Structure 1
Amino acid sequence: MERGESLGTLLTDNLLSKLERAYGLTFMQAVKLRTVTGLRTSGGAMILKRYEGEGMKKRLDAIGVALDAVVCAGVEIAPYLKTKEQNMYISDRGGLWTLQPWLSGRHLSMYDPKERKAAAVSLGALHRVPTAKLVEKTSSLRVPPLWEKYRHRLERAQEATYRIGALGELWRPFAERAKQAVRELQGPRFLQALERDNRSGAFCHRDPAPHNFIWQEKSAALIDFDLAGLDVRVHDLYQLLNHALYLNGHETGLFQEMVEAYDRTYPLCEDNRRVLEALMSYPSLVIREWYDYGKTGNRKALLPRLEWAALQEEKRYKEFKGK
């Protein structure tokens, strides 16, 4: 088999032979990509991915069952290819390896309204499938409470602001909004939305970034479900809105078009709408800049980026609050 230039030491001839036997395929070419390996096989182009540790088995099994249900419902995604023994992966030297079809197309552009709306439709279609009802061990798909993630990011950003006291006035109003949002995410609206979504079986992607969508001329297909789980579904939508704001800057109707496209696909309940309002009050772009500064210490880059982020968050807040 012809190989790419840099496959690393893990992808050995013995492993490739084991994979060929397990899946009943012939591999012709392998090319190492950033986090995965692309394979040209007798069954078409595939993506090969490695996971660390035997402890991932239950989670991969649960995700595999969920993805199969999504495919059966007619939603375009890349499921795990099953081995001849109907397993979702093979084990090799302490690692687990999955094989998925390589979907044709390109990564989504958040600059195109048509593609942004298609991404929202894709999320709604994913959430509408009652996957959790088909997964026996849903505990493998449980995720930490949403408020914990946003409280943690707020705390790290707060710590970073202590290094530059002169920017305190720029930080304080956003800090108050973030604290209020975290409090609301711990309230009954969030718990009711999460309970409703878990009961209906909504399976969430939890990382709907542009590089995890494949644009296929008229629709957007989701890939890379490594972080997927049973979450409040509006969190996926919020993350998509955040990516649009970060990459585009604010423009009139930016959020409304995506929320409406999602809502037509899978209507939001009142509790989910309240959770979305809380999330949209959380100034992610400002917190992201402080959070990144805390890791890099790059003061020169901070101020212009922080001022830009603050402007976008003010516009977001006014639009979503209807002011």
Structure 2
Amino acid sequence: MTETESLLRLLESHYGLTAVKVIPMKTVSGIVCDDDSRWIWKEARARDTEQRFHAMNKIQALLGESGISCAAPVSNGTGLYLSTIENGEKKGYLQPWLAGHHVQLENRQERLAAFATVGVMHQLGQYVSSDIRSVLATASLESRLVRKYRAMTEAWNVAIHKLPELRAMEIHVFRSMSRVLEGLSRQPLTGKSTFCHRDLAPHNLLFSGDGQPHISLIDLDQAGYDLPFLDLLQLCNHSLHFSDLRPGDFRESLAVYNRNAPMGPEQRVWMSELLWFPDLLIRTTVEWVAYGCPEQGRDRVWTAATKERLRLRLLAEENVVSG
């Protein structure tokens, strides 16, 4: 019996679903059923546990009350979230295949809708029980930034050897990273943690709706309780990477967020500082070096470096979160 045949049998026996089509994707399988319902099947990873998925469904219910859809796992006929394919070698789980297209951050309406949704998520995510917070606890943002700094330091010499044009960025990149980390050493981040996506790339946000824009959250594998700055840092960096932001766009996007999840004066100061951290350039460069600096990746790294120059100029021109 093939793996697909085993999956079809599991869907029938554990979920009461009759699949008419299985669509292999990059890391998941899309499922289309005879009742026109659509689902995503994902292989489980080490951190995927019944306890985590139970907590994620509590979060899904909380967000759903405010109209935010998220692709949390659904339970099977036995009341569990994890199911084992018939051959017994692989576990996985089912989640809804949500409608919409990946958010186009170059589109102002979609970008602002994304910032508003993240603000609502952060505001609501504060109000959960301590046991959910405990299950979904994550490493601190400070430790994550330190790891990124170390990874960039290790990768940089290889990167500039393969792409010498990057050398002109060296002072700016390391000065920006040091600025943030030195600030953290003087005054650690404070504030109340909340539910965060922690991987806010455009392909993890879906936009739908004609008159009323709607954002759905998918790929919540990294989600957990953290300070909200990481989500904002990722969303700001991706907004710039995928669009030609103008002076004032950072400020406008964060103002929309702030209306839904008000930041205090100290949080605003820290957000201003954290935006200097070249998160997307680090991620692009480190991944390129890790894969052996393939030729087809050069343009992606150079684009990230070019966007980083623009980002630094925009940050220098305005105090993006003062309003």
Superposition TM-score, scaled by structure 1 size: 0.82
User: Equivalences for 1:175-214 in 2 at 5 Å?
Assistant: 175-186=174-185, 188-190=187-189, 192-193=190-191, 196-197=192-193, 202-214=194-206
Structure 1: gaps spanning 5 or more residues:
1-7
Change (3 A) 1:306 1:224: closer
SS in 2 for 1:220: strand
SS in 1 for 2:67: coil
The residue that corresponds to 1:40 in the other structure is 32
Cα distance in 1 for partners of 2:57, 2:18 equals 23
Change (3 A) 1:168 1:75: closer
Cα distance in 2 for partners of 1:98, 1:91 equals 9
Cα deviation for residue 258 of structure 1 reads 1.3
Structure 1 contact 214–223 (Cα < 8 Å) conserved: yes
1:3-57 CA deviation, whole Å, 9 max, x = no partner? xxxxx954333x4323322222222221111111111123611111111358633
Change (3 A) 1:134 1:89: farther
Change (3 A) 1:207 1:9: farther
Change (3 A) 1:65 1:96: farther
Cα distance in 2 for partners of 1:298, 1:208 equals 25
Structure 2: gaps spanning 5 or more residues:
none
SS in 2 for 1:133: coil
The residue that corresponds to 1:77 in the other structure is 70
% identical aligned pairs: 24
Cα distance in 2 for partners of 1:289, 1:138 equals 31
2:213 is the counterpart of 1:216: no
2:147 is the counterpart of 1:149: no
Cα deviation for residue 220 of structure 1 reads 1.6
Change (3 A) 1:88 1:134: farther
User: Equivalences for 1:1-323 in 2 at 5 Å?
Assistant: 10-13=3-6, 15-41=7-33, 42=35, 44-53=37-46, 56-92=49-85, 93-130=88-125, 133-134=128-129, 136-163=131-158, 164=160, 170-186=169-185, 188-190=187-189, 192-193=190-191, 196-197=192-193, 202-217=194-209, 218-288=213-283, 290-292=285-287, 294-295=289-290, 296-297=292-293, 301=298, 305=303, 308-321=306-319
Amino acid in structure 2 at the alignment position of 1:88:
Y
Cα deviation for residue 94 of structure 1 reads 4.8
Amino acid in structure 2 at the alignment position of 1:173:
H
Structure 1 contact 285–309 (Cα < 8 Å) conserved: no
Cα deviation for residue 284 of structure 1 reads 2.9
1:262-317 CA deviation, whole Å, 9 max, x = no partner? 11112123343233122111123543454355334469947954762442132133
1:80-106 CA deviation, whole Å, 9 max, x = no partner? 222234333323425332222222221
Cα distance in 2 for partners of 1:176, 1:301 equals 23
Structure 2 contact 50–80 (Cα < 8 Å) conserved: no
RMSD (Å), alpha carbons? 3.0
Amino acid in structure 1 at the alignment position of 2:309:
L
Cα distance in 1 for partners of 2:52, 2:232 equals 23
Amino acid in structure 2 at the alignment position of 1:238:
L
Q: Greater CA deviation, 25-34 or 55-64?
A: 55-64
Cα distance in 1 for partners of 2:304, 2:9 equals 52
Cα distance in 2 for partners of 1:305, 1:28 equals 42
Cα distance in 2 for partners of 1:249, 1:237 equals 18
Cα distance in 2 for partners of 1:175, 1:124 equals 30
Counting matched residue pairs gives 307
